[in-house]
Amino acid sequence: MKLGLTALALAALLSSGSVFDTAVSAQQQQQPTVPDAPAPQSPGLLTDVSGPITPGLGAAATAAASGSSTSSSTPAQQPVRPPAAEPKDQVQATPPDMPPAGEGFEKTGTIIRLNVNFVEVPVTVKDSKGNLVAGLTWRDFKVYENDTREPLRLFTTDAFPLSIAFVIDQSLTSDVMARVNDSLDAIQGALTPYDEVAVFSYSNGAQERTGFTGAQSSRLPAVLALTRETGSEMLVPVNSGPMAGCNVHVNGNCADPNIQPGRSVGAGPFITIPKEIHTLNDAILAAAKDLSTRPKGRRRLIYVISDGKEYGSKASYRDVLRYLQTNQVAVYGTLVGDSARWGEGFVSRIHLPFSMYDNLLAKYTFATGGTLDSERNLNGIEKSYAKIAEQARTQYTLGYISHQPVLDGKFRKIDVRVDRPGLEVIAKPGYYPSAEDMR
């Protein structure tokens, strides 16, 4: 009996072992085999690639040449490429933003700017006779910044409202000052109700007569009436000899008490004549500071009525010009007095070292894109107000986005060209970037 039970147990163990072996072998058959890693291979030549630029053949190869080179096992010899030609001037295909009539000045203030420098360039175009040229389109203009053409993003011919700071020279001689005083009443007739005006005067220092007020308000003529002065004496005093004490008398008294002995000229047989003071730089800077606060979408103008002389200002010409070019302020002017004479006005632009500037106003107008008129009589001075206001109001307005860094503090040169012969293009020659241009 015991032997039978032992035989049965051995048979059961043998049968269970065979079942286990069968399960293990089945599991091994189901487990996937892991392949070996691929051996490193050297890249082959791209001889089967064809197109306008085939690797190893150059851009000048034709399709037939590239097809024949595929059968070669060695790389083709790279041909010698000719030197690259200068890029030709590309024609702008996409038109700029041209707002409807009457909305151009609003568009310049609402255009979207994101980390870019949007540059606005007012342009005046005249023919050979000095008349304004109308009817030009955006295709007639080309704008270059630092010798790189910029595509136009805005083009409009709308009339812009003006923010004008009138600067009146009160150091003129008495005869010229009288003509300027009589012409001040014509200023208001050259403006529109949409314009605004501030009045400054200068002789020995700048003085603000009134802040910005409506051009057609009753305040403007009242302020202009208070701005009138008699001017300086035309005669030149003698600084030596028996008549050196006071050689110019009016009703028995000295016309200028400053040239009497013991005053500012000193005492003795030889007196020191006081130097003429013409603070033109200080007056333009004071007007520019007020203009820099005016909103976008308005023309910022400084209109100077002067003989252009400069001496004794605290501000230098270079610093004032940089401020004007940074804040988009243009200087216009009417030359009077000796500087308005034909020939003499041109010679007076030449400055001798250690002497007074005889005509610095011309340099301001040319460097800011303004215009200058020379008039000697009353009728001409009155007409110049309307003529210059018309030129400043009816300009072509071009806009582009500069390719230069947003703020680098360097001067950027602008060159505006018109594809028509015999025309004079007046625009600012450049500018300094400002944080206000970033939107």
Helices (H), 83-234: 104-110, 174-183, 219-226
pLDDT digits (tens, 9 = 90+) for 138-167: 999 999 999 999 999 999 998 889 999 999
Tokens of residue 40, six digits: 């490193």
pLDDT digits (tens, 9 = 90+) for 97-141: 777 776 665 666 555 444 467 899 999 999 998 899 999 999 999
426: nearest Cα among 309, 331, 287: 331
129 is a domain residue: yes
pLDDT at 130: 87
- pTM to 2 decimal places: 0.69
- Same domain, yes or no, for 323 and 414? no
Instruction: State residue 173 phi and psi, 5-degree precision.
Output: -70, 160
pLDDT at 326 over 70: yes
pLDDT at 99: 73
The single-letter DSSP state of residue 147 is T
Confidence of residue 61 (pLDDT cuts 50, 70, 90): very low
- Same domain, yes or no, for 196 and 344? yes
pLDDT mean over 378-398: 91
135 is a domain residue: yes
pLDDT at 304: 96
pLDDT at 184 over 80: yes
- Same domain, yes or no, for 407 and 308? no
Taking every pair of C-alpha atoms in the chain, what is the biggest distance, in angstroms?
172
Cα–Cα distance for residue pair 198/165, rounded to 1 Å: 5
pLDDT mean over 278-303: 93
- Same domain, yes or no, for 297 and 190? yes
- Same domain, yes or no, for 134 and 216? no
380 is a domain residue: yes
pLDDT at 35 over 60: yes
pLDDT mean over 391-399: 90
- Same domain, yes or no, for 115 and 149? yes
Domain range for 426: 104-157+399-437
Compute how many other C-beta atoms are within 10 angstroms of the C-beta atom of residue 13. 9
216 is a domain residue: yes
pLDDT digits (tens, 9 = 90+) for 339-352: 777 665 555 666 65
pLDDT at 267: 56
For the chain, the first-to-last Cα distance in angstroms comes to 108
pLDDT at 296 over 90: no
185 is a domain residue: yes
Q: For the chain, give the percent of residues with pLDDT over 90.
A: 42
pLDDT at 207 over 90: yes
- Same domain, yes or no, for 382 and 322? yes
- Same domain, yes or no, for 143 and 122? yes
pLDDT digits (tens, 9 = 90+) for 4-15: 555 555 555 455
pLDDT mean over 218-245: 77
- Same domain, yes or no, for 320 and 419? no
Q: Which of 71-80, 181-190, 295-304 is predicted with the least confidence, judged by mean pLDDT?
A: 71-80
Tokens of residue 225, six digits: 């009436």
Query: How far from 26 is each of 19, 20, 21, 63, 395, CA to CA, in Å?
Result: 11, 10, 9, 60, 93
127 is a domain residue: yes
79 is a domain residue: no
Confidence of residue 333 (pLDDT cuts 50, 70, 90): very high
- Same domain, yes or no, for 208 and 291? yes
pLDDT at 232: 81
Domain count, the chain: 2
**Enclosing H/E stretch for 3:** helix 2-30
Confidence of residue 358 (pLDDT cuts 50, 70, 90): confident
pLDDT at 329: 95
Q: For the chain, give the percent of residues with pLDDT over 70.
A: 62
- Same domain, yes or no, for 306 and 423? no
- Same domain, yes or no, for 362 and 305? yes
Confidence of residue 186 (pLDDT cuts 50, 70, 90): very high
416 is a domain residue: yes
296: nearest Cα among 104, 132, 426: 104
Exposed (0-12), middle (13-18) or buried (19+): which is 256, by Cβ within 10 Å? middle
Tell whether the torsion through CA atoms of 124, 129, 135 and 138 is positive or negative. Answer: negative
pLDDT at 240 over 90: no
